[in-house]
Amino acid sequence: MTPEHGLLDWGIVAIFVTVYVGMILGGLPRLKVDRSGVALLGAIGVIGLGAMSTTQAASAVDLPTVLLLFAFMVVSAQMRLGGFYTAVTRQVATLPLGRNALLGAIIGVAGALSAVFSNDIICLAMTPVVAQLCLQRRLNPVPFLLGLACAANIGSAATLIGNPQNMLIGSVLQLPFGGYVRQALPPVLLSLLVLWGWLVWGPDHEEPDTQADACRAMPPDLPTGYGPLQAPPFDAWQTAKGLAVATTLLLVFLFTDWPREIAALVGAGVLLLSRRFHSSHVMGFIDWQLLVLFMGLFVVNHAFESTGLAAQAVAWLAAQGVQLADPGALFVAGVGLSNLVSNVPAVMLLLPHLQGSDAGVTLALVSTLAGNLLLVGSIANLIVVDLAQKSGVVIDWRMHARVGVPVTLLTLGLLWGWLRWSV
């Protein structure tokens, strides 16, 4: 190795470490830069350092994953603008159910919708309605909102389109859509049941509804419109159009070999051909920051892999008897990294060292369920907390931990048993 090459490797390592410190902290100290900004700056740094050309950086990005993610953001935007999520939540609110049954209905709806649409979008759309529903019924909204957040995370693990990390795993490892669903659905359904059971019979199930009394003076209706935090009016035609495209895509994924990203792009194109919704409105619901995060991390991780240090670290672990292909080691690594740097960066770090569908299924389920452990473990959690506060309901990290920690440990234990039994 020449001195120049050695200096270049050290420069790449410095950028890699800085980027992942930013992933841990959520940004860089003293700078107004979030995770997406850190990933973008890391990619710029790698290119500026001369470690990669712009052509090499572009080829480092897994385009099928980015296109699939973008396309389903368009589908989710269509459903949001059509008022589907809000209408479904309000319909649940009208059911003559007691507290525990209502809690189960909300968990079931959030989990089911998150399996097809983005869990973040589900939380964004359902949180204000659930908070309003609870306050109007004089119910403590905290268990319902925490149940919503946890259910959205759990439910999104059921398919390869439920969340970004699953899309990435499915694309890179070429996992069959139907095969994954058959393996993932049983532990996901059981985990949703565990969540409901903990919220109904756990230590805090008899907590007085103090927040409902404190915040009972809520406006009777949510504001309508097209802003990212508003609830659009229900549009039956646009909702039917979105559901038709989503259903068609699921059938294509299940019963054909058509590349998922191409099918999803065609579906997104159909939805963008609209006489009702301007394309700028739809594009306003695209999470461009998440797409930038993906692309930046692809470039930074590829540059780090080119140094050979990642392969050396994996080889060293193997020499110590720790094989990432081993379910136990992958379980621990997935849970630890997902809560350290967030699940998308964690998956990107682990994926290059994995092979086979069993490893892919394990990583997808573990990295998703681990997002419920801490408040900062999932963007969906933060969305619920932020919107709850706007509705006058305060949820801090301790309140989340009283549900998130035991539910995560129980569901991960359940998953471990299921994986061991089903092998």
Q: C-alpha angle 237/71/234, rounded to 5°?
A: 25
Q: Which pLDDT does position 117 carry in this prediction? A: 87
Cβ-Cβ contacts under 8 Å for 218 (sequence gap 6 or more): 131, 132, 135, 136, 391, 392
CA distance 220 to 209: 19
Tell me the helices (H) and strands (E) count for the chain, helix number first. Answer: 21, 0
Q: How many CB atoms sit inside 10 A of residue 404's CB?
A: 23
Q: Which pLDDT does position 228 carry in this prediction? A: 43
Q: How many CB atoms sit inside 10 A of residue 212's CB?
A: 19
Position 125, amino acid:
A
CB distance 28 to 22 below 8 Å: yes
CB distance 412 to 190 below 8 Å: no
Q: Which pLDDT does position 404 carry in this prediction? A: 93
CA distance 51 to 150: 41
DSSP state of 233: P
What are the two backbone dihedrals, phi and then psi, of residue 234, each rounded to the nearest 5 degrees? -70, 130
Tally the C-alpha atoms within 13 A of residue 47's C-alpha that lie toward its C-beta: 18
Burial of 10 (0-12, 13-18, 19+ CB in 10 A): exposed
Cβ-Cβ contacts under 8 Å for 107 (sequence gap 6 or more): 147, 148, 150, 151, 192, 195, 196, 199
Tokens of 265: 């792009």
Q: Which pLDDT does position 322 carry in this prediction? A: 78
Q: Which pLDDT does position 5 carry in this prediction? A: 61
Handedness of CA 91, 97, 102, 105 (dihedral sign): negative
Q: Which pLDDT does position 212 carry in this prediction? A: 46
pTM of the model: 0.86
pLDDT by position in tens, the chain (length 423):
555 566 788 899 999 999 989 888 888 888 888 889 999 999 999 999 998 999 999 999 999 999 999 999 999 889 888 889 888 988 888 888 889 999 999 999 999 999 998 888 888 888 988 998 888 888 899 999 999 999 999 999 999 999 989 999 999 999 999 999 999 999 999 999 999 999 999 876 655 444 444 444 344 344 444 344 456 788 888 899 999 999 999 999 999 989 999 999 999 999 998 888 888 888 888 889 889 989 999 999 999 888 888 888 888 877 877 788 788 888 888 888 888 888 888 888 888 888 888 899 999 999 999 989 988 778 888 889 888 888 888 888 889 999 999 999 999 999 999 888 875
Tally the C-alpha atoms within 13 A of residue 319's C-alpha that lie toward its C-beta: 6
Tokens of 409: 């440990």
CA distance 164 to 153: 11
CA distance 75 to 422: 34
CA distance 11 to 48: 11
Q: Which pLDDT does position 397 carry in this prediction? A: 85
